[in-house]
Amino acid sequence: MNRPYNFSAGPAAIPAEVLQQAASEMLDWHGSGMGVMEMSHRGKEFLSIYQQAEADLRTLLAVPANFKILFMQGGGLAENAIVPLNLSRAAAVDFVVTGSWSQKSQKEARKYASEVNIAASSQDSDFTTLPDPATWNLSRGASYLHLCSNETINGIEFHELPDLQALGSDAPLVIDFSSHVASRSVDWSRVGLAFGGAQKNLGPAGLTLVVVREDLLGHALPACPSAFDYKTVADNESMYNTPPTWGIYVAGLTFQWLLRQREGELTGVAAMERRNIAKAELLYNAIDASQLYVNKVAANCRSRMNIPFFLRDESRNDAFLAGARERGLLQLKGHKSVGGMRASVYNAMPLAGVQALVDYMREFEQKRA
């Protein structure tokens, strides 16, 4: 089957091999007589799926033994409340605001933390740059510092996580890595908690991943719902309430697909990172060489996953999108809050898909020069 290339920002493309395996097991998983959606989450069949997924993810992301992996619900948006409910201790928290998602995060945290300090913001640049960590105004005794390590809408990415200890802060670093999880390695020595919705790079909507250092468990506010208390979830191995079983299953298949990936001598996430660098460079180079298209983000913090671009003549937007659909290049319209175009080139997007987009962009520009 010749499928189109899906550039959706999320829910996003899932590797074809994963979809094919899920389809083949839809009615009968491994001779059990049940599909995964029909299984008890406490039955031996699903427990084996969950345990394999957890182990594969720990391997894939090189998660240290002193971190718990939680499979939760509610997406990254709900974690904007669940994180302060668990970590704020009703004290001050720091935020670095670099785009739409970190803006939403700090607004939500104000409901639970006694004080929210904006340690740094790139709003003055219209979120096209990242503030230098050396300039951050960090609070003394903050419960944690939150940043979105890849801003899906604005196309901004931290290519290196800040070393808070070197900046004079003992606060744990919380990162929202929803839109670039498993696209690159994570320096866990600098992270206290990472969270992300699965629907961009790991599987279907409905599953939320939380990776949390063990010493941060057990500090939830009294008002925190039991199902959102990280310690309760960890103590029950993500089975305190019925978890998103189908999402865990498909994510587990995606983890296995990622572990099988090869680029020369590299495997897994390292292989994906090399591949993702090549895809991003191909598209950014085409944009930068063009007289019609422009990307406004500073070169040192451009996202590898979410690449927004604009037509200098925006009266051509509809024609560009219509032509793209005819070519099988889908979901390229930019987020409604910023306009323009956006190509999300997550792990499941092959280099051939980016090349097809670049070829179309060049053709569209030449025909309308």
Question: Which has the closest alpha carbon to 67: 193, 204, 205?
Answer: 193
Q: What crossing angle do the helices spanning 268-288 and 351-367 adopt, rounded to 10°?
A: 10
> How open is the CA angle 304-309-310, to the nearest 5 degrees?
175
Please report, as a single letter, which amino acid is at residue 292.
L
C-alpha 98/C-alpha 125 separation (Å) is: 10
C-alpha 184/C-alpha 284 separation (Å) is: 18
Six-digit token string for 278? 């090549």
Q: How many CA atoms lie within 13 A of 307 on its CB side?
A: 25
Residues with catalytic roles: 101, 176, 200
Cβ atoms within 10 Å of 117's Cβ, excluding its own: 16
Which residues sit opposite 5 in a β-bridge? 329
Six-digit token string for 180? 């670039």
Place of tokens 């999300």: 344
Tell me the residue length of the chain: 369
Question: Which has the closest alpha carbon to 10: 101, 127, 104, 105?
Answer: 101
C-alpha 150/C-alpha 206 separation (Å) is: 20
Interacting residues of 52 by C-beta distance below 8 A, sequence separation 6+? 252
Q: What crossing angle do the helices spanning 16-24 and 245-260 adopt, rounded to 10°?
A: 130
Containing 283, the helix (H) or strand (E) segment is: helix 268-288
> How open is the CA angle 125-126-130, to the nearest 5 degrees?
55
CA dihedral 176, 180, 182, 188 (to 10 degrees): -40
